[in-house]
Each structure stands twice: as structure tokens, then as C-alpha cells.
Amino acid sequence: MGLLSTDISKVKKLSLKDAKLPAPKIRIENNTFVNVEKPPTNEEVFYSKLIAVNPLLEELVETFNLVSINSGERIKKVDLKTDNKPHPEPEIKVKEIDKPKLIALAQRVIDKENNYSKEDLVNRIINITNVNQERADKGFNLMLEAGAIQYTKVDTYFLTGSTPF
């Protein structure tokens, strides 16, 4: 007993008989669980964008039971708030270089000394150039913007430099 400076056998022993613990406080908690969604991973966002472009990819993934490399589980499709909308087409401005081409196209489509409604002109563009409806509408708008055709007050259009009748 060389390490202790006091002799334990001579010291009064403490007893826990007289010690009392405070009464336990009863706590009632409302365990409300909040469902917190994790933000989509880059892999999920990329997969969702691919499906938006090519929906057959989702069927391919389901058919072959393809899974994520990272988690080993099937990749979830997430709703892309901004990516679900189709991208707006950039506004096409008529360049000075394109004006002669548009004027030449207008001269092929529109007879001199004649006028046509917008629908007739679009149909003539489709028939002469073998393009689809959307492309013909864009061509019509570009010809109008370039000044190759002009608008009359009776909802018809005529070739610039000619007369509308």
C-alpha cells in the first residue's frame, strides 16, 4: 500500500442508503417525423434528361433491369421543373447575306402583280420547296422580316416592288 497516502481501512465508508434521487420528470414528446426529400443526384438528373429526349431509353432500362453503378439500385426518374419544358427556339434574325436568298425565294413563290393570304403563301412555299409546315411558317416570317413581301390592309401579302392586284 505504498501508493496511497491514507489507509482505507481507517477511513469512514460512504453509504448510498441515505442518498435519494430526484423524482424523474415525465416528458411527453410528439414524435412528428418530417419527410425530407433528398435533392436528386447528378445521375438521376442526367437520366431524366435522357428520358425526356428519348422515352424509349426508359423501356430499355426496365427491360434489362439496369441499375446505377454508384448505388446498385435502379435509377429514379425525377421531375425536372425547368427541363420538362421544351427549349425555346432561338429567335432567327435575318442577316444581310440571307436577304437576296429570301427575295429570290419570294419571287419563286409569289407571282408578280398578285397577292395571297398567309395560308396560301405558306402552302405555296410547302409545294415549291418541299418543306414541312413549321419550316414554311419560319420562311414566311423571314421573308416578311427581310422585306421581300409586304402586307396589305386586307390580310394579304404581295411581292415587294410589284402591285398587290
CATH class held by domain 98-159: mainly alpha
Residue 4 — very low, low, confident or very high, per pLDDT cuts 50/70/90? low
Q: Per-residue pLDDT tens for 58-68? A: 888 888 888 88
- φ, ψ for residue 79 (rounded to 5)? -80, 125
Rounded to whole angstroms, the Cα distance separating 145 from 19 reads 97
To the nearest whole percent, how much of the chain has pLDDT over 70? 79
Residue 69 — very low, low, confident or very high, per pLDDT cuts 50/70/90? confident
Residue 154 — very low, low, confident or very high, per pLDDT cuts 50/70/90? confident
User: What pLDDT sits at residue 54?
Assistant: 86
Angle of helix 133-146 versus helix 98-109 axis, rounded to 10: 110
Q: Per-residue pLDDT tens for 105-123? A: 888 888 877 888 889 888 9
Q: Per-residue pLDDT tens for 22-33? A: 877 777 666 666
Structural domain boundaries of the chain? 40-85, 98-159
DSSP the chain: --S-SS-GGGSPPP-SSS--PPPPPP-----PPP--PPPPPHHHHHHHHHHHH-THHHHHHHHTT---TTTSSPPPP---TTTSSPPPPPPPPPPTTHHHHHHHHHHHHS-TT-EE-HHHHHHHHHHHH---HHHHHHHHHHHHHHTSEEE-TTS-EEETTS---
User: What pLDDT sits at residue 83?
Assistant: 44
Burial 8-20 (b: 16+ CB within 10 A, else e): eeeeeeeeeeeee
**What is the residue-averaged pLDDT of the chain?**
78
Rounded to whole angstroms, the Cα distance separating 78 from 75 reads 9
Rounded to whole angstroms, the Cα distance separating 94 from 135 reads 15
Amino acid letter for position 40: P
Choose between 45 and 87: higher pLDDT. 45
∠ Cα 123 125 127 (to 5°): 70
